[in-house]
Structure 1
Amino acid sequence: MKKIFLTIVAIATLFVSCKEEKKEVVNTPVKENTAFNQLLKDYNEGKLKLNPLNATFAGDNRFNDRFPNFLSDEYGQKSNQFFKDYKNKLAQFKNEDLTESQQMSKAVLDWDCNIALAQSSFKNDLLMPINQMWTVNLTMGQLASGSSAQPFKSLTDYKNWLSRLEQYNTWLQSAETRMKQGIKEGYVLPASLIKKVIPQFEGLSNTKLDEHLFYSPIKKFPSDFSEEDKKKLTEEYASLLNEKLIPSFKSMYNFLKTDYLKAGLKESGISAIPNGKAYYDHAIKNYTTTNMTAKEIHELGLTEVARILAEMEKVKEEVGFKGTLKEFFNDVRENKKLMPYTTPKEIIDNFNAIHEKMKPQLEKLFGNKPKTPFVVKQTEKFREASASAEYNPGSLDGTRPGVFYTPIPDASKYNVFSDEALFLHEAIPGHHYQISLTQENQDLPDFRKTLWYSAYGEGWALYTENLGKELGLYTDPYQYFGMLGMEMHRAIRLVVDTGLHSMGWTREQAIQYSLDNEAESEASIISEIERYMANPGQALSYKIGQLKIRELRAKAKTALGDKFDIREFHNQVLETGCIPLALLENKIDNWISSQKQR
């Protein structure tokens, strides 16, 4: 623990530049500024209208029939003007006229506007609108399954989806047009990523109507629908799919496997496209919410990799493995004793058993626990091959549960060695606690209940992986090794993401570095490296956020001594929802000062 603490302290200076944004709060009013609260409400409403899909996932069904063409010039101009207008409106409010909570909201909203405006200055999203993992076409596939956030309980629900699909079809056609323009201007995906997208559209192009993913809602009619309504909806869905959507899927599939693949980049990083270096600098700030440079992050990653390797050596010795650490990685990857299951249900049951095991210990670390229900599900088949384990939030009103999705392409080859850490991260007390508590917090304005800053959100989830021993887990050395493996996985990201996008690393170089330093399977590593290629900077957020939260915990414990309460520290971190790391640090510093005065 001493070695870990020294590492955290050593990197603290890398965050100094963030602290420049701190402001002293004087004469904070007790009564809330009602005009400012109205501004926050209007901002939230405007953002939901700009992106109705976010409203749907939040459980707000008012815009379920809408799908704006995010790729159109008109939409871009409208979005840009929206954030400019609110930045100007925000400047009219002085800190001394706002409560402490409102001052936090002002700082968060200002950051939100600045990042959105900076993002709009790049063409990347417009001219590379589709990739194998992150883009809106995959989200629409989730919704089309009929078992996600888009409801299919009434006739109105079914008609809403038809309307949304009509508009989505327009987006698909625009995407192909944009990608053709991207070829001309040099904005193209690496060829290795294009090869992963092609099968996704091949399946959507060639599947029979009654087996088609987007036909799924027709197979799930509520029992109270009349035969007449069922017949009419079936005809309307069949017509839309056969005459519009499937032809668009086929057109995209043919384009991807021919012209787009031929134009695919040989380079692996974002620096290969026009203005790529500037985009990566922006991506780092966006995802880490710091002013760290690619070089600083790369060096930090190398330091963390070395530290975790030393911890892994201890586990190797504990289990009595006689070979090298790299040989131990291979042994863990291929160890049949760590692949005990034959069905997806057994894997889901194991995650639920982990939850039961840790429940008694949660009380010791967390005073506040969410009311939103929680379930574990297997990732849908259509996206399982390219998916990672993930958490999908429940609805704001708590009626739709939070879902931990885990991909299980082949249950007999599923390795369990990291399942305890994975559950802590994706489920409890990771994303489910963090997101659900935010959504349930009545003191937060609505716009902050659905905000996502990856350094905070993913940083918290990675931080919770280290709570395993405190929660009664990691009694099996292989599970503890799994936690180290997952932490190593995030440390490696600091090295390979910056390597790919800033230092000219190839895909193969990044894959090999990962194989040399972690126990993930080669197939999983390839999928991960291609994930980083598709979304530059996102992978950096986990470790940067985790180290900041660990640093703040160590600072608070040292400063407060016997007054330090881990439950209250966790409450302080979680109660504000997602915020940039500099604002979180400022908040914890103020809390430490207030506790000292007691």
Structure 2
Amino acid sequence: MKNLLIALSCLAVMSCSKQPESAPTPQAQSMGNLLESYYEDYLILNPLEATQIDDKRYNNILLNDISEAHRSKVASFCKQYQDSLQNYDRAALSTQDQLSYDILQFELALKTDLLKYPENLMPVQQFWGMTLTMPQLGSGKSYVTFKTVDDYEDFLGRIDGFTVWMDTAIVNMRKGLARGTTFPKILMERVLPQAKAMMVSDVKQSVFWGPIADMPATIGEKEKGELTTAYTDAIKTKIVPAYTKLYNFLKDEYIPKTRTTSGVGEIPNGKEYYQLMIKQYTTTELSPDSIFNLGKAEVARITREMEAVKEQVSFKGDLKAFFAYVNNDKKFMPYKTAQEVIDAYKAIETKIEPNLKKMFNMVPRSKFEVRQTEKFREASASAEYNLGSPDGVRPGIFYVPVPDPKTYNNAGMETLFLHEAIPGHHYQCMLQLENTELPRFRRTLGYSAYGEGWALYTESLGKELGLYTDPIQYFGHLGDEMHRAIRLVVDVGMHVKGWTREEAIKYMMENEPIAEQGAIAEIERYMAIPGQALSYKIGQLKISELRVRAEKELGDKFDLGLFHDEVLKYGNLPLSILDTRIKQWIEERKKV
């Protein structure tokens, strides 16, 4: 197994001197070195992210990232690079380097602030986290590949790291119980069946057996036998005992004592922590009250638009009845085969192509495909976009689950395509990944408010792109927008204003066409990851606001294609930094 020394490199910052315009200044060269050094050290502290970008150097490592030792290393890492940034004259840097400076400063400050709160005392919940990530990785169906003997041996190292992580999680959760820093009881009850599913008596029934069952023929018989024995032992003596220990701890000790309230505001310093979650997920300094009021206003506005569509199609009945009509009437389920559904999405791409060329100058080099979601995961999957590769070998893929084509509702297809595919996630993600002018750390950097905000903003381009001519398709768009607006209300409602889980579920069901089980899953997701659900609508509203500002201030000089270029060309940005950049661009355009 590989040995890894975590050594945070020090960078000597060069002094700035003037150079010819065509040559990078010493400060620019030094800034590039700093950003590269930062990213290398960042990957050491985040080996799973290294694996995601096909950097195999740390493939055998799963860090105990909830330990105090790890948190101390992160603190030192942040301090080192914060100190390094102080050696630069930001004003002397290029626009691109200024953005890198601002992003890195934002990132380091956020990481430092997060360390002030004991997130590591709440390491397990039902929506995401290591207890769910490891089975995904170990199945062989995620971004961890199992093609060579080294791949298999590397993952055995990660299983060893996982057992340490699980032991630490239980110790930390005991500390959390003593301090009142816990997740709600209902969420922990949801974890029990997840853990139970990993407690198999037959190793071949374990999700971690998948790579053994699908072992490549290129691996020799001797190595195959050795790996089969090693994985049998790892599942029996490490994976199953780790989940069994967690299950028993949760059932017998944790769940009986954990809190029954819904919001994170109920834990010590919870409201201050929630404000930091707002900053993390919206990349703004908005207050909970302002977000709550904004959500209420958006819900009211979208409701009025929904009522107008109902009147336009002469539907007799209230809005709830119209929801039921759109969801259940067979006229909105015209398909007989899955291929017909896929072809309908391809037709949307063809329909918008002429107008896309007028609205976007920058388009990805990578190819794009619409595919049906694989059968093995189709029943529980949602429509999603999967990144292509920057070398063009793997296309960007819009996956569409069609378990039963005869019940596939087409009412929201146009808005879904714009969001998940073109010009939503495919344009934004691939332009960022392909942009070699960005330093490496920015090509894969993601802020939910920007990425999801952009995708939601592109839904609003439907009419300009020649879509939403059918009122029902526009209603589908309004339904998706309503869902994101409701999130602003219920998220703040639970985490700051004392709303119960049940009150949040009721509010959601009263304002959008969603079944009770769907509403429960959504609300419990928001309970598990405070603030994340705010990012979509906040991001969309910010980008829309910036467009309106540019149109107003530039008048005849406004060009929508150039505006979109400016939003996309720098990659994923915190909204506060995007706001500053677009203001600068407006002033630059005024001088043209």
Same fold (TM > 0.5): yes
Asked if the contact 2:378–2:403 (Cα under 8 Å) also holds between the matched residues in 1, the reply is: no
Q: Which residue of the other structure, out of 120, 136, 147, is the alignment partner of 2:141?
A: 147
Distance in 1 between residues matched to 2:421 and 2:30, nearest whole Å: 37
User: Counterpart amino acid of 1:265?
Assistant: R
Q: Does 1:584 align with 2:557?
A: no
Which string of whole-angstrom CA distances, capped at 9 and with x for unpartnered residues, describes residues 54-96 of structure 1?
1122232222221101111111100111011111111111113
Give the corresponding residue for 2:486.
Answer: 492
Q: Which residue of the other structure, out of 98, 103, 108, is the alignment partner of 2:98?
A: 103
Give the corresponding residue for 1:197.
Answer: 191
Tell me by how many angstroms 1:285 deviates. Answer: 1.5
Give the corresponding residue for 2:111.
Answer: 116
Distance in 1 between residues matched to 2:341 and 2:245, nearest whole Å: 38
Q: Which residue of the other structure, out of 45, 50, 56, is the alignment partner of 2:51?
A: 56
Asked if the contact 1:500–1:506 (Cα under 8 Å) also holds between the matched residues in 2, the reply is: yes
Tell me by how many angstroms 1:472 deviates. Answer: 3.1
Higher RCO by CA contacts (8 Å cutoff, separation 6 or greater): 1
Tell me by how many angstroms 1:168 deviates. Answer: 1.9
Q: Which residue of the other structure, out of 215, 220, 223, is the alignment partner of 1:221?
A: 215
Asked if the contact 1:28–1:98 (Cα under 8 Å) also holds between the matched residues in 2, the reply is: no
Asked if the contact 2:372–2:402 (Cα under 8 Å) also holds between the matched residues in 1, the reply is: no
- SS of 1:439's partner is helix
- Alignment CA distance shift 1:539-1:485 (3 Å): same
Q: Which residue of the other structure, out of 83, 89, 98, is the alignment partner of 1:94?
A: 89
Which string of whole-angstrom CA distances, capped at 9 and with x for unpartnered residues, describes residues 346-385 of structure 1?
6666545544443444322222222344554638978975
Give the corresponding residue for 2:240.
Answer: 246
Aligned Cα root-mean-square deviation (Å): 2.6
Distance in 2 between residues matched to 1:342 and 1:251, nearest whole Å: 48
- Alignment CA distance shift 1:406-1:461 (3 Å): same
Tell me by how many angstroms 1:178 deviates. Answer: 1.8
- Percent of pairs with identical residues: 47
User: Counterpart amino acid of 1:542?
Assistant: Y
Q: How many residues align?
A: 570
Matches within 5 A, 1:225-236: 225-236=219-230
Distance in 1 between residues matched to 2:99 and 2:312, nearest whole Å: 47
- SS of 1:262's partner is coil
Tell me by how many angstroms 1:478 deviates. Answer: 2.1
- SS of 1:149's partner is coil
Q: Which residue of the other structure, out of 319, 328, 332, is the alignment partner of 2:313?
A: 319
Matches within 5 A, 1:559-598: 559-598=553-592
Unaligned runs of 5+ in 1: 1-26
- Alignment CA distance shift 1:66-1:571 (3 Å): same
- Alignment CA distance shift 1:399-1:97 (3 Å): same
Give the corresponding residue for 1:421.
Answer: 415
Tell me by how many angstroms 1:448 deviates. Answer: 1.1
Q: Which residue of the other structure, out of 136, 158, 163, is the alignment partner of 2:152?
A: 158
Q: Does 1:76 align with 2:78?
A: no
Which string of whole-angstrom CA distances, capped at 9 and with x for unpartnered residues, describes residues 152-206 of structure 1?
2222222222222221222122222222222222122212212322222221213
Asked if the contact 1:394–1:436 (Cα under 8 Å) also holds between the matched residues in 2, the reply is: yes
Tell me by how many angstroms 1:525 deviates. Answer: 1.6
Tell me by how many angstroms 1:514 deviates. Answer: 0.9
- Alignment CA distance shift 1:418-1:131 (3 Å): farther
Give the corresponding residue for 2:39.
Answer: 44
Q: Does 1:278 align with 2:272?
A: yes
Q: Which residue of the other structure, out of 449, 452, 456, is the alignment partner of 2:446?
A: 452
- Alignment CA distance shift 1:457-1:263 (3 Å): same
Distance in 2 between residues matched to 1:194 and 1:409, nearest whole Å: 30
The farther-off stretch of 477-486 and 388-397 is: 388-397
Distance in 2 between residues matched to 1:339 and 1:262, nearest whole Å: 46
Asked if the contact 1:344–1:378 (Cα under 8 Å) also holds between the matched residues in 2, the reply is: no
Distance in 1 between residues matched to 2:19 and 2:525, nearest whole Å: 45
Give the corresponding residue for 2:5.
Answer: none
Give the corresponding residue for 1:6.
Answer: none
Distance in 2 between residues matched to 1:424 and 1:261, nearest whole Å: 42
User: Counterpart amino acid of 2:267?
Assistant: I
User: Counterpart amino acid of 2:221?
Assistant: E
- Alignment CA distance shift 1:346-1:68 (3 Å): farther
Tell me by how many angstroms 1:395 deviates. Answer: 4.7
Normalising by the residue count of structure 1, what TM-score does the alignment of the two structures yield?
0.89
Give the corresponding residue for 2:129.
Answer: 135
Normalising by the residue count of structure 2, what TM-score does the alignment of the two structures yield?
0.90
Asked if the contact 1:59–1:396 (Cα under 8 Å) also holds between the matched residues in 2, the reply is: no
Q: Does 1:366 align with 2:366?
A: no
Tell me by how many angstroms 1:344 deviates. Answer: 6.9
- SS of 2:260's partner is coil
Tell me by how many angstroms 1:107 deviates. Answer: 0.7
Give the corresponding residue for 2:4.
Answer: none
Asked if the contact 1:129–1:179 (Cα under 8 Å) also holds between the matched residues in 2, the reply is: yes
- Alignment CA distance shift 1:232-1:343 (3 Å): farther
- SS of 1:533's partner is helix
Distance in 2 between residues matched to 1:189 and 1:382, nearest whole Å: 29
Q: Which residue of the other structure, out of 305, 322, 330, is the alignment partner of 2:324?
A: 330
User: Counterpart amino acid of 2:577?
Assistant: L
- SS of 1:206's partner is coil
The farther-off stretch of 29-38 and 489-498 is: 29-38
Give the corresponding residue for 1:172.
Answer: 166
The farther-off stretch of 405-414 and 551-560 is: 405-414
The farther-off stretch of 563-572 and 484-493 is: 563-572
Which string of whole-angstrom CA distances, capped at 9 and with x for unpartnered residues, describes residues 555-595 of structure 1?
22223333322222111101111112222122112222222
Which string of whole-angstrom CA distances, capped at 9 and with x for unpartnered residues, describes residues 132-161 of structure 1?
112233233322232321122222222222
Asked if the contact 1:59–1:395 (Cα under 8 Å) also holds between the matched residues in 2, the reply is: no
Tell me by how many angstroms 1:326 deviates. Answer: 2.2
User: Counterpart amino acid of 1:299?
Assistant: N
- Alignment CA distance shift 1:482-1:330 (3 Å): same
